[in-house]
């Protein structure tokens, strides 16, 4: 299982080798780490002057034929702010389950803001979403000093909220107590019994969501969360709003900008997802991206993994290890054994950034020696950083939103039939995406779908990196095309997300958000 969009801070605090080196922008939602110090940055600009083609207005009508935007604007909610630390304020606002039928129920969404350091020169509110879907954003306000440049903190209130169903929202999505029962299964079954175990596991996961979350599963789609952003904007007293979204947060931001383009002061979409692909094709693209990053790891390991026997290579070693773990999983007392399922998730966890490759090397070395604990630790880190098999609700919400957003029918038979296609583009890791898609194939709720992206505004900057496994650059380019008037920043990093890690991209983003600097159509950092 690979979250299609997520911003993954690692649980360890690395040594900072450069002012902007940060593990924060790579892992999802556990600890916020590494202080960003923006010093003298050099920006290398290039690209032709962009064109601004007319965008097609999306279909935003609701099921009853009403207009979504009108229904959203008819709903208002205030925030009763209370001090929750020096320079911080906390509160809640309310949104209906369904804007076209607001009487059926309401979400209470928590919001936290870090007040601007220089109130006299305050520009306004900067809304933040870390990705997922399912990532709680509240800590991003609390630890804003470790995430954002001093320049942003001087002039913006950093505003973070938990979207409907996420984190501390009430109610929140809940599905299972542990991911061991499903994601430690063999993702590439070798016989009918293993296939049936995968089918049964996916069904049990989906049924757990239904039993624990019930009807809110019909009201957690991205288009609903994007609608809530306009309620939040008005509750903040802002005519226009600024936004910085990472990974899945780019889908959320693009949907908001499509629905409410006149309210966009400035929006940055870092590690943008591909809005042109359907559910299946989008995950196949992601599988390709992770496979590419794994091959880059192998090339690095052949040079840097000193534990490899003379004359051997990392690809052959990995294939042998994978086969051995399939036949003879390594015991972990009280936890599932380290098998191919744990291997696949653990490896993917380390592929979000190249500076995590030494962690993966150490885990593989230990596994070759008969100790699967390192791979199990990476497996746990992927699911929220716990070390005892339990989890937060991040992945639960991921599935709830993803399955709600899907725009095509998926069945167990169809997903199992994707094996040959995935083997062709991702022969090493492709099976993990079958395992992920099996959950939505077992989903009993009808999909809500998504709207066509096309924002009638030129106040959007899209950011992508050339070595991003989770949101490959090809998809980011499609986001730019789909938006119609957006600018592009390309980072050469071998990781997911760029802000705070690439000095060039960080400076360009800051200048745009603060001064609305209109740069080139494409900036190659």
Residue range 84-139, pLDDT digits in tens = 999 999 999 999 999 999 999 999 999 999 999 999 999 999 999 988 888 788 88
Query: Does residue 247 have an active-site annotation?
Result: yes
Q: Give span(s): CATH 3.40.50.1820, the chain.
A: 5-171+220-277+450-524
Q: How far apart are CA 400 and CA 462, in angstroms?
A: 26
In this structure, are residues 331 and 367 in contact, taking their beta carbons and an 8 Å threshold? no
* CATH superfamily name and code, 5-171+220-277+450-524: Alpha/Beta hydrolase fold, catalytic domain (3.40.50.1820)
Question: Among residues 136, 116, 120, which one has the least CA distance to residue 128?
Answer: 136
In this structure, are residues 501 and 21 in contact, taking their beta carbons and an 8 Å threshold? yes
The residues facing 209 across adjacent strands are none
Measured over the CA atoms of residue 138, residue 141, residue 142 and residue 143, the dihedral's sign is: positive
In this structure, are residues 163 and 225 in contact, taking their beta carbons and an 8 Å threshold? yes
Among the listed ranges 372-386, 407-421, 426-440, 470-484, which one has the minimum average pLDDT value?
Answer: 372-386
Q: Would the pLDDT of 3 be above 80?
A: no
Residue by residue, DSSP assigns 51-75 as P-PPPPPP--B-TTS-BHHHHHHT-
Query: What's the angle, vertex CA 318, arms to CA 317 and CA 323, rounded to 5?
Result: 100
Provide the 10 A C-beta neighbour count for residue 139.
20
Q: Spot the catalytic one: 468, 498, 502, 510.
A: 468
Mean residue pLDDT of the chain comes to: 84
- pLDDT tens for residues 191-213? 899 899 999 999 999 999 999 99
In this structure, are residues 416 and 195 in contact, taking their beta carbons and an 8 Å threshold? yes
- pLDDT tens for residues 16-57? 222 222 333 334 333 332 222 222 232 233 333 323 334 444
Provide the 10 A C-beta neighbour count for residue 212.
18
pTM check: above 0.75: yes
Tokens 């999909």, located at residue:
447
Question: Among residues 508, 462, 335, which one has the least CA distance to residue 50?
Answer: 462
Q: Spot the catalytic one: 34, 247, 361, 442.
A: 247
- pLDDT tens for residues 345-380? 899 888 888 888 999 999 999 999 999 999 999 988
The residue that leads in pLDDT, 413 or 432, is 413
Q: How far apart are CA 195 and CA 214, in angstroms?
A: 28
Q: Three-state SS for 464?
A: strand
Q: What are phi and psi of 502, to 5 degrees?
A: -105, 115
Count Cα neighbours of 26 within 13 Å in the Cβ-side half-sphere. 30
Q: How far apart are CA 449 and CA 306, in angstroms?
A: 49
Query: Does residue 444 have an active-site annotation?
Result: no
Tokens 């998926």, located at residue:
410
Q: Spot the catalytic one: 496, 498, 502, 510.
A: 496
In this structure, are residues 238 and 126 in contact, taking their beta carbons and an 8 Å threshold? no
Residue by residue, DSSP assigns 204-220 as HHHHHHHHHHGGGGGG-
Confidence of residue 64 (pLDDT cuts 50, 70, 90): very low
Helical (H) or strand (E) element with 373: helix 373-382
Q: How far apart are CA 260 and CA 229, in angstroms?
A: 9
The three-state DSSP-derived secondary structure of 381-422 is HHCCCCCCCECCCHHHHHHHHHHHHCCCCCCHHHHHCCHHHH
Provide the 10 A C-beta neighbour count for residue 333.
5
First to last CA, the chain: 31
Query: Does residue 468 have an active-site annotation?
Result: yes
Confidence of residue 238 (pLDDT cuts 50, 70, 90): very high
In 240-352, which ranges are continuous DSSP H helix?
248-259, 279-304, 314-327, 340-350
Q: How far is CA 55 from the centre of its chain?
A: 26
Q: How far apart are CA 144 and CA 142, in angstroms?
A: 6
Query: What's the angle, vertex CA 117, arms to CA 114 and CA 119, rounded to 5?
Result: 100
Among the listed ranges 24-33, 135-144, 487-496, which one has the minimum average pLDDT value?
Answer: 24-33
């Amino acid at each position: 299982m690979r979250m299609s969009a997520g911003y993954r801070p690692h649980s360890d605090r690395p040594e900072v080798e450069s002012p902007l080196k940060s593990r924060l922008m790579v892992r999802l939602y556990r600890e916020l780490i590494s202080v960003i110090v923006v010093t003298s940055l050099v920006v290398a600009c290039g690209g032709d002057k962009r064109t601004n083609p007319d965008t097609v207005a999306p279909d935003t009508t609701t099921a009853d034929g009403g207009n979504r935007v009108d229904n959203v604007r008819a709903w208002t909610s205030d925030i009763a702010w209370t001090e929750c630390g020096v320079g911080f304020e906390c509160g809640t606002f309310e949104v209906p389950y369904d804007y076209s039928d607001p009487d059926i129920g309401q979400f209470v969404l928590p919001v936290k803001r870090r007040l601007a350091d220089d109130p006299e020169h305050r520009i306004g509110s900067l809304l933040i979403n870390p990705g997922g879907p399912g990532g709680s954003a509240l800590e991003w306000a609390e630890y804003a000093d470790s995430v954002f440049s001093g320049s942003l903190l001087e002039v913006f209130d950093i505003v973070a909220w938990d979207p409907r169903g996420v984190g501390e929202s009430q109610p929140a999505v809940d599905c299972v107590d542990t991911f061991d029962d499903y994601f430690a299964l063999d993702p590439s079954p070798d016989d009918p019994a293993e296939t049936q175990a995968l089918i049964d596991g996916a069904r049990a996961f989906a049924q757990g969501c239904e039993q624990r979350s019930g009807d809110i599963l019909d009201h957690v789609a991205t288009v609903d969360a994007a609608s809530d952003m306009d309620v939040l904007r008005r509750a903040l007293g802002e005519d226009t709003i600024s936004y910085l979204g990472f990974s899945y947060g780019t889908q959320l931001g693009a949907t908001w900008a499509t629905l409410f383009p006149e309210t966009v002061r400035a929006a940055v979409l870092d590690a943008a997802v591909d809005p042109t692909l359907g559910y299946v094709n989008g995950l196949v693209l992601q599988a390709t991206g992770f496979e590419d990053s794994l091959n880059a790891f192998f090339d690095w390991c052949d040079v840097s993994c000193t534990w490899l026997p003379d004359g051997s290579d990392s690809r052959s070693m990995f294939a042998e290890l994978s086969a051995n773990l399939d036949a003879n999983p390594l015991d972990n007392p009280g936890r599932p054994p380290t098998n191919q399922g744990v291997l696949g998730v653990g490896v993917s966890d380390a592929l979000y950034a190249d500076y995590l490759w030494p962690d993966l090397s150490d885990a593989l070395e230990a596994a070759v020696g008969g100790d699967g604990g390192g791979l199990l630790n990476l497996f746990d880190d992927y699911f929220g950083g716990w070390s005892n098999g339990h989890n937060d609700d991040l992945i639960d919400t991921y599935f709830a939103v993803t399955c709600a957003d899907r725009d095509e029918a998926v069945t167990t038979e169809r997903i199992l039939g994707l094996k040959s296609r995935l083997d062709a583009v991702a022969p090493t890791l492709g099976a993990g995406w079958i395992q992920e898609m099996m959950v939505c194939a077992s989903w009993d709720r009808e999909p809500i779908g998504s709207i066509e992206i096309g924002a009638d505004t030129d106040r959007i900057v899209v950011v992508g990196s050339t070595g991003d496994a989770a949101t490959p650059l090809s998809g980011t380019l499609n986001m730019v095309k789909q938006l119609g008037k957006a600018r592009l920043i390309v980072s050469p990093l071998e990781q997911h997300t760029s802000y705070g890690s690439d000095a060039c991209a960080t400076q360009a983003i800051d200048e745009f958000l603060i001064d609305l600097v209109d740069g080139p159509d494409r900036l190659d950092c």
